[in-house]
Structure 1
Amino acid sequence: MGLFERYLTIWVALGIAAGVGLGLVLPALFQAVAGLEIAQVNLVVAVFIWVMIYPMMIQIDWAAIKDVGKKPQGLLLTLTVNWLIKPFTMAALGVLFFKYLFAPWVDPQSASEYIAGMILLGIAPCTAMVFVWSQLVKGDANYTLVQVSVNDLVMVVAFAPIAAFLLGVTNVTVPWETLVLSTVLYVVLPLAAGMATRHHLARRSPQAVGAFVAQLKPWSIVGLIATVVLLFGFQAGTIVEKPAVIGLIAIPLVLQTYGIFFISWWGAKLLKLPHDVAGPACLIGTSNFFELAVAVAISLFGLNSGAALATVVGVLVEVPVMLSLVAIVNAWRPHVHVPRA
C-alpha cells in the first residue's frame, strides 16, 4: 500500500479542515466556483473527478473478462452483494436512522439529502482501492481483475435505474436527465477513455500501462483532495454550526460496511470459495466507488448539499474500516499444517 492509500483518512481530514477554513474566510470564491455549471454539472468538480477516475479506468484489463466462466461462484457472490443486497440495505439504514432514530436532531430536508448520499454510495461498488485490499489479503490478483471488470460493465447499465428507483422510494425527486448525464460523464466516458488509453499503451510495451498510471497518480490525489476542499468549503457554515452531523452520518455508514462484509463472508463460506477468492470478493462488495458517488451527488443535489456531504463522509470512514476488515480476513486465513520431516 502506497503512502497515499495508507494515510487516506489523514489526507481527507486535512482537506476537510482546509475546506472549512477557506469556506469561512473566502465564501465569495466558493460561490463563484458553484456558478460554473452546465446542465447541473459543476465544471470545476467534473475536472477534478475525471482526474481521479481516469487513472483507475486505465488499470482495468477488459481481456480478463474471457476468464469469467472458469470460477463463476466468486463472481456470482460479488454481483449478488453489489447489486441485489448492498444498495437496498444502504437505503433501508438511511431511512431507519435519518427518518426515525435521528429525526429529533436532523431536519426533514437534510435527512432526505443524507439518505440520498448514502444511497449513491451504496450503488457505487469500488473500482480502484479493491486492488489494494486484494493485495493486502493475498488475494487472487487475476480473479480480482475479472470481478472489477465485470462490475464496471454492470455499472454502466444498472447504476442509473437503481439510483432512480431507490431515490424515488425514499421520496427524493431526481431528474432522470441529470442522472443519465452523470452516468455517462462519470462512468461510460471514463471507461471508454481508459480502454482506449490502455489499448494504445499495451501496443507500445507491457510496462507502459503501469508507468503511465504511476505518472498520473499524484494528479489523482490532487483531484480527490481538491474535491473534498470544495465540498467542505461550501458547507463550512453548516459544519461549524452542526459539527455532530458528520458523526451522525458516519454511524449508519460504518454499520453498513461491517454488515455487508459479514453477509459476503457467510456467502463465501456457503459457496466454499477458496480464501484467495473469498477475501477479495467480500472486500469488493464492502468498499465503495466514492469518487463516482461524490460526482453524482454534486450533479443531482449541488456542491453544498447534504447528499454531497454524506458521500464525502463515506470517504472519511472507509479506509480505517476497510483496514480493520483486511485484518479480519487475514486472521481468518486457513493455517496450513506442515508436517515435520
Structure 2
Amino acid sequence: MSRATPTARNQVASPSTAHLSTTDKYLPVWIGAAMLVGLLLGRLVPGLDDWLGAVEVDGVSLPIALGLLVMMYPVLAKVRYDRLDTVVADRRMLVSSLVLNWLVGPALMFALAWIFLADLPEYRTGLIIVGLARCIAMVIIWNDLACGDREAAAVLVALNSVFQVVAFAGLGWFYLSVLPGWLGLDQAALDVSAWQIAKSVLIFLGIPLLAGFLSRVWGERAKGRAWYEERFLPAVSPWALRGLLFTIVLLFALQGDRITSQPLDVARMAVPLLLYFALMWGAGFALGKILGMSYARTTTLAFTAAGNNFELAIAVAIATFGVTSGQALAGVVGPLIEVPVLVGLVYVSLALRDRFFSSEVPADVRTHP
C-alpha cells in the first residue's frame, strides 16, 4: 500500500491526506527558529555550556542525550516490526546501503575535506570524522517525513550501527593516518575504541529501538492494532518534533559563541558539507531508481546514505581532541548544515515521487510542495 504525504508528528498518515500538515509544511521554519534560539542562548547566557556539559552520557550532554531519545522514540514506535523480514530479503538494498555508507561516504568526505580545508587541519579532521559516523538517528525522521519505508530504515540503521562498531576505529585510522601518508599529506591520529562506539550506538539507537518495539508488541496485545495506530501513535507522535527542536536548541547553544564569532570558518566548512549531503543523497536516490526500487525504498536508501551520526562524531571529537577543539566545532557545524539541507531534500523527494513514481501514488494524495 502506498503511503500518504507525511504527517509524521501530528497523526498517523492516511490515504486521504492530500497535503503536508501545517506542522510539517513549516518544519524548516521551526528548525531555523530552534537554531537561532540556540545560538542566542549560547551567546547571551553565561555559563550555559558549562551547565549543559556538567553531566554527560558517553561524551554527550545529558540534556541533549534525553532530547535525542525523545526525538527517536515516536518514529521507532511506528515501525511494523512484523514486516522486517521483507526488508532483510532485499539484498540489493542492503548491499547498496553498505557500499554507499562505508565505501563511498567516507571516501567522498575525505576528498572534500582535503580539497576545501587543506590549510585548516583541525576542521579537516573534524569533517572526516563526521563522514565516518554513519546514520543512526535523525535520518529516521527525515525518512518518515519523505514517506520512506520505515521498516527498511530501521533495518538499514541497525545494519549501519553494527558496521559502525566494527569499522569506525579502523576507518578512522585509515583515513586520518594511513591514506594521508600514502598520498604525502599531513597525518592525524584518532584514538577511539570499539567500545566507545558501541556505547554510543547502544544508548542513542538501542534504547529508543527497544522502547519502540516493546510499545508496539505490548500495545497491540493489550489493546489491538487499531487502538495502537489510531489512538496511541497520534498521542506520542508530536514528541518527535519536540525532541528534535529541543536537541537542536541545546546543540547550538553549546557552540553558539564559536559559531557566531567565527563565521568565515563556519562558511568554509559549510561548502564541503553541502556538497557531501547533496551528492550522497543524489547517489542513493539515483541508485535506487536505477535498480528499480519502489519510491519508499529509494528514498530510504538516499536518506540513510546522506545522513550522519553527529552524536557519535561530536562525542569522538570531544573525547579525542577536547571540547574546545576545532574538531569538536566541525562536529557541531555538521548538523548546522545537515538539518536544513535534509529537510529541503524531504521536499525534493516528494516532488520526485510525483514526477518519477506517480504510478505508485493515488492521484488524490500526490503532494505538490
Task: Give the TM-score, by structure 2 length.
Answer: 0.75
The question of 1:6 aligning with 2:19 is answered no
Inter-partner Cα distance in structure 1 for 2:348 and 2:33: 22
For the 8 Å contact 2:70–2:240, the answer to whether it is kept is yes
Counterpart position of 1:97: 112
Counterpart position of 1:301: 317
Task: Provide the alpha-carbon RMSD of the alignment.
Answer: 3.0
Superposed displacement of residue 48, structure 1: 0.8
Choose from 293, 297, 313 the match for 1:281: 297
Counterpart position of 1:33: 52
Structure 1, residues 190-236: CA drift from partner, whole Å, max 9, x if none? 21111111101111121333332322233222221122122211212
For the 8 Å contact 1:164–1:176, the answer to whether it is kept is yes
Counterpart position of 2:255: 235
Counterpart position of 2:69: 50
Superposed displacement of residue 145, structure 1: 4.2
The question of 1:183 aligning with 2:201 is answered yes
Inter-partner Cα distance in structure 1 for 2:158 and 2:359: 36
Inter-partner Cα distance in structure 1 for 2:157 and 2:296: 16
Inter-partner Cα distance in structure 2 for 1:311 and 1:92: 19
Q: 1:333 to 1:91 in 2, by over 3 A?
A: same
Inter-partner Cα distance in structure 2 for 1:119 and 1:316: 21
Structure 1, residues 94-129: CA drift from partner, whole Å, max 9, x if none? 22222232324xx21122112212332557693343
Q: 1:52 to 1:231 in 2, by over 3 A?
A: same
- Any unmatched runs of 5+ in structure 1? 136-143, 337-341
- Any unmatched runs of 5+ in structure 2? 1-5, 7-20, 177-189, 361-369
Q: 1:208 to 1:286 in 2, by over 3 A?
A: same
Task: Give the TM-score, by structure 1 length.
Answer: 0.81
What is the percent sequence identity of the aligned residues? 19
For the 8 Å contact 1:91–1:115, the answer to whether it is kept is yes
The question of 1:324 aligning with 2:337 is answered no
Q: Secondary structure at the match of 1:27?
A: coil
Counterpart position of 2:126: 113
Counterpart position of 1:339: none
For the 8 Å contact 2:135–2:157, the answer to whether it is kept is no
For the 8 Å contact 1:257–1:287, the answer to whether it is kept is no
Superposed displacement of residue 76, structure 1: 2.8
For the 8 Å contact 2:281–2:303, the answer to whether it is kept is no
Counterpart position of 1:127: 140
Inter-partner Cα distance in structure 1 for 2:244 and 2:64: 10
Inter-partner Cα distance in structure 2 for 1:111 and 1:9: 28
The question of 1:78 aligning with 2:93 is answered yes
Q: 1:98 to 1:120 in 2, by over 3 A?
A: same
The 5 Å alignment of 1:137-286 reads 144-171=149-176, 172-203=190-221, 204-210=223-229, 211-268=231-288, 270-271=290-291, 273=292, 277-286=293-302
Counterpart position of 1:138: none
Q: 1:244 to 1:11 in 2, by over 3 A?
A: farther
Q: Which runs of 4+ in 1 moved over 6 A?
A: 289-292
Inter-partner Cα distance in structure 1 for 2:234 and 2:22: 13
Superposed displacement of residue 151, structure 1: 1.9
Residues paired across the two proteins, number: 318
Higher deviation after alignment, 283-292 or 21-30 = 283-292
